[in-house]
Amino acid sequence: MMGTHQIIDMRVHCVSIPARAVHSHGSGDVGGINVALCELITDGGLTGWGEASPWPVFTGTLDGNAAALHVHLRPHVIGRDPLQVEPIMAAADRALVGHPEAKAALECALLDLTGQIAGLPIAELVGGRHRDRIPLSFSVANPDFDADLTDVAAIWESGVRIFKLKTGFADHGFDLMRLEKLRDIYGDDIRLRVDYNQGLSAHDAVRHIRDLETFRPDFVEQPVRMHEREALAAITRAVDVPIMADESVFNVREAQQGAVMRIADIFSLKTAKSGGIRRCIEIAAIARSVGIEVYGGCMFETSIAHMAGAHLMAAIPDLTLGCEFYMSTYYAKADLAAAPFPISDGHVHVPKTPGLGTAPDPDKLAHYRTQIFTQGDH
């Protein structure tokens, strides 16, 4: 019931989980998952969870987002009714510029509490689900391609049919060789995608992407640097394969400008870029209004952030490209949640339990936690 719940504490947990293998990208190597969890506690004993998943070369830093939650957003949360999701998020936007990862964590924890109070999953709170399961993509990003081929074979065996190659960190010939090999082994049954993570120069991009088109990828993601939006628009016009904008579209305003400029055929949605599930739904509405597709992207995340993404992508109409919430299952050495992230038959299954539908296991959280900030710490 409204007005009968009050948030009495926020705890910020910094967590570090090593990876099974380094993943390489056009923007550098990543060897683990470093995130900040936002835990909100009500006077009635409810607990809501959200995750800030920063990537320093892409969004922001762990330190910055932990401080954003603990120091700058805390005063706008304590004493509030968790059902006031938008008023609290509007206050967060007024109090602090940027830090969309921290805002995504806060919004998710508020929606988790609201869902528990209402008895509804987050997907239903934000408009209702179009689907119960979302096709899953795995990212091929190990600089040791033979090791990746072994992983791909095992993941293929488990039912995954979508694979995204991270490119642009070695030479062009290495990228072409890997695409050719995967197309040779798996034929027409495999869906291939390519993500440069800003790794191409605008000068080389059109020629390199045309070379890849032989291997029929579904899309090529973020070939050039995030601010080279005119180049991205020109590449989108020049090549046949659909182009996806990831680093170039963070927020609603960038989506609106990107739609007008037609910088891409697809936008990658990530709660960590946009400040939460509901901002991503706003971006998806802008995209749909001009015939731009959307996709369920992810950062280096645990299953807490994956689950926010799963509720988001369940609530998006006309989803054809799936999602990539594979990190907690196939990349990290361990996960925080008590129950495994729900992947089977190559799909993510969207929970039907109230709220987020997952929470950290206290022992696992204690094991991987590097720092905690609570009410009395500042």
Q: Which is nearer to Mg ion, 113 or 224 (CB)?
A: 224
If the CB atoms of residues 26 and 346 are measured against Mg ion, the closer one turns out to be 26
The residue among 175 and 246 lying less far from Mg ion, judged by its C-beta, is 246
- Eight-class DSSP state of 253: H
CA distance 280 to 316: 9
Contact (CB, 8 A) for 196 and 217: no
Nearer to Mg ion, 201 or 370 (CB): 201
With 0-12 CB in 10 A as exposed, 13-18 as middle and 19+ as buried, what is 206?
middle
Residue nearest Mg ion, Cβ-based = 246
CB closer to Mg ion out of 151 and 221: 221
Distance of closest approach, residue 13 Cβ to Mg ion, in angstroms? 26
Task: Compute how many other C-beta atoms are within 10 angstroms of the C-beta atom of residue 193.
Answer: 23
> DSSP string spanning 38-101?
EEEEETTS-EEEEEE---TTTS--HHHHHHIIIIIIGGGTTT--TT-HHHHHHHHHHH-SS-HH
CA pair distance 263, 235, nearest whole angstrom = 8
Give the pair of three-digit tokens for residue 296.
């369920």
Q: How far is the CB of 18 from Mg ion (least distance, A)?
A: 22
Q: Which residues bind Mg ion (CB under 5 A)?
A: 195, 221, 246
Q: Which is nearer to Mg ion, 152 or 220 (CB)?
A: 220
Question: Which three-class secondary structure state does DSSP give residue 156?
Answer: helix
For Mg ion, the closer CB: 39 or 221: 221
67 vs 280 by CB, closer to Mg ion:
280
Q: How far is the CB of 376 from Mg ion (least distance, A)?
A: 39
User: How far is C-alpha 327 from the geometric centre of its chain's CA atoms?
Assistant: 10
CB of 195 vs Mg ion, minimal distance in Å: 5
Q: How far is the CB of 297 from Mg ion (least distance, A)?
A: 6
The residue (of 112 and 246) whose beta carbon lies closer to Mg ion is 246
Alpha-carbon gap, residue 246 to 252, rounded angstroms: 13
Which residue in this structure is represented by tokens 């602090």? Answer: 96
112, 356 Cβ separation under 8 angstroms: yes
Least Å from the CB of residue 221 to Mg ion: 5
Q: Which is nearer to Mg ion, 112 or 195 (CB)?
A: 195
d(CA 67, CA 97): 13
Alpha helices in the chain (DSSP H): 62-67, 85-95, 100-118, 122-125, 145-157, 172-186, 202-212, 229-238, 252-261, 271-274, 277-289, 303-314, 362-368
Give the shortest CB-298-to-Mg ion separation in angstroms.
9
**Calpha distance 36→368 (Å, rounded):** 11
Shortest CB 246 distance to Mg ion, Å: 4
Q: Residue 197 Cβ, how far from Mg ion at the closest point, in Å?
A: 6
CB of 139 to Mg ion, least distance (A): 9
Handedness of CA 300, 120, 102, 13 (dihedral sign): negative
